[in-house]
Structure 1
């Protein structure tokens, strides 16, 4: 197990970080998220069926900045089995510039900057339901790693002058999170387990209690969209 470490982010008034600093932030966030995601105790089950398992625990900031009046948040963990190889599922999700084409929860998704071969600075905007729910946007620093035959993509929000907050969207803040792509040994076909840890302060006026009711629904919609995209890609590859 990777030892948890602290991560300190600057305020928005001091956002000129070097590439070396960004790489270190991404590395630390991924390690913290991996440690949290692989904890065995302390989880409360929300959903457990043949398609998906969703559980949660109180969120952990790992000493990152916290939104004022943002309230408590949860760390949500989803696990699902997908009939596809690790590489296929990984490549679909990490095609950042095209993920909004199949993920209906996003209206925008793009890479802002490639920091190095394993570190990406990205920007995404959620779909929302105005005037009930405003769009959320966030910047996210990804780090990718391979640990044995498992592929990882994790990170956290950072503040960057490439995408400062605007009045058009509510700026959300992502604490250390992780996606894990693990192979499953089968005789018949490729199979992998997709695990996603997300913990986020969404900002705005929506009560946290409402978010906690809505989020499992949003997770299930994402899993359904992902599996549909996997089938689409497999069908195209088999032509």
Structure 2
């Protein structure tokens, strides 16, 4: 159910930057710090790559002279990544919501100023690059295989890592949750063998509130895809999700639906990837 947020991403309200250069530098320092915490003792290869690329991103931002609005979107995407990594790096306080028969697991915790967040942890029989290609490069096709998503449209691309999207949730049985849509800024990064897709809700002048839809908010949200330590052809897939659907919906219903939707998403993604590789094999014959 629910939205194109259940696609994977998105976030909280944003604030326009007052001093973009200072905010950008602060965000870079914070991201580096949180990446170190998430990786545990000692530097890792992908942490170092993210740090190097972050420095390159700062240089690229200076060179391209993005508009103030574009810069605000870039800053929001970095903020979503930083906040998500900070949440995921803290292993304390998580409570089990669902454990599926195949081992897929959803955990949750309540955070100050954010509320309840959910974390999906699954192992997928795909390499991170393949999953990244499906979830990022083929993002607008998600409605074809995820029943919870009606449509995703990329409204604007800013540089190589940032985009603004509009997501429409599919109708739910019994209309338990009425039609929702989301406008999100997304930060997509691929650093070595690890892939990230972070996001948060934003404002986009070209996509005002739509008739018949409630404009909901999501984030900070982030998907992290890393090769399994046991088998590099498999992926440790983690999805952090937080969402405010707005309206008068009991929290018990929202919590139950969100955790189940994450489990359903993992299964839909497995089926999509399996179908794609079956078609490739057939074409090769």
Where do residues 1-239 of structure 1 align in structure 2 (5 Å cutoff)? 8-9=14-15, 18-49=69-100, 50-59=102-111, 61=113, 73-94=115-136, 95-129=138-172, 131-186=175-230, 190-239=233-282
Structure 2, unmatched stretches of 5+, are 1-12, 17-66
Which structure has more RCO (C-alpha within 8 Å, separation ≥ 6)? 2
Alpha-carbon distance in 1 for matches of 2:236, 2:212? 37
**Which shows bigger deviation, 78-87 or 16-25?**
16-25
49-58 vs 102-111, which deviates more? 49-58
Q: TM-score by structure 2 length? A: 0.71
2-side partners of 1:60 and 1:17: how far apart?
30
Larger of the two Rg values belongs to structure? 2
Normalising by structure 1, we get a TM-score of: 0.84
* Alpha carbons 1:177, 1:197 under 8 Å: kept: yes
The 1-side partners of 2:201 and 2:181 are apart by: 11
Flag the structure with higher strand content: 1
- Out of 87-96 and 222-231, give the one that drifted further: 87-96
**CA separation of 1:110/1:61 partners in 2, compared to 1, >3 Å: closer, same or farther?**
farther
The CA distance in 2 between the partners of 1:128 and 1:59, in whole Å, is 29
Q: Alignment partner of 2:108: what SS? A: strand
Q: How many residue pairs get matched?
A: 218
Q: Deviations over 1:106-154 (max 9, x none)?
A: 1111111101110011111111336432111001111122344211110
Q: Does the 8 Å contact 1:60/1:175 carry over to 2?
A: no
- Once the two structures are TM-superposed, the CA of residue 51 in structure 1 deviates from its matched residue by 2.9
The 1-side partners of 2:229 and 2:208 are apart by 45
Q: 1:17 and 1:76 mapped to 2: Cα distance?
A: 33
Distance 2:280 2:76 in 1: 37
Structural RMSD (CA): 2.2
